[in-house]
Amino acid sequence: MQVVRALFDGHDIKPIEPIKATGKTEVLVIFPNQVEKIDPKRAGKLLRGSGKGERLTEKLLKSRANDQKYDAR
């Protein structure tokens, strides 16, 4: 399967890069979802405290120590 980036102007699809295909080829066109844009200040408030009580730093350090032990073998 080949992936090609293209622009869609509401009527035509125009490739940004050359397409390496010979003859007629069936294609599947996928449009990305329209993602809601979030203000950076609001995003910070939504993320604040999201990992609280998870002890993520300790888990990361323990995992890294285990990796080092494994690498030493």
pTM for this prediction: 0.37
Q: Are 15 and 8 in contact (CB under 8 A)?
A: no
Cα distance between residue 24 and residue 65, in whole Å: 55
How confident is the model at residue 50, as a pLDDT? 66
Express as a percent the part of the chain with pLDDT over 70. 90
Q: Which residue has the higher pLDDT, 9 or 35?
A: 9
pLDDT at 61 over 80: yes
pLDDT at 63 over 70: yes
Rounded mean pLDDT of 12-35? 82
Q: Are 7 and 13 in contact (CB under 8 A)?
A: yes
Helices (H) and strands (E) in the chain, counts: 2, 2
Cα distance between residue 4 and residue 28, in whole Å: 11
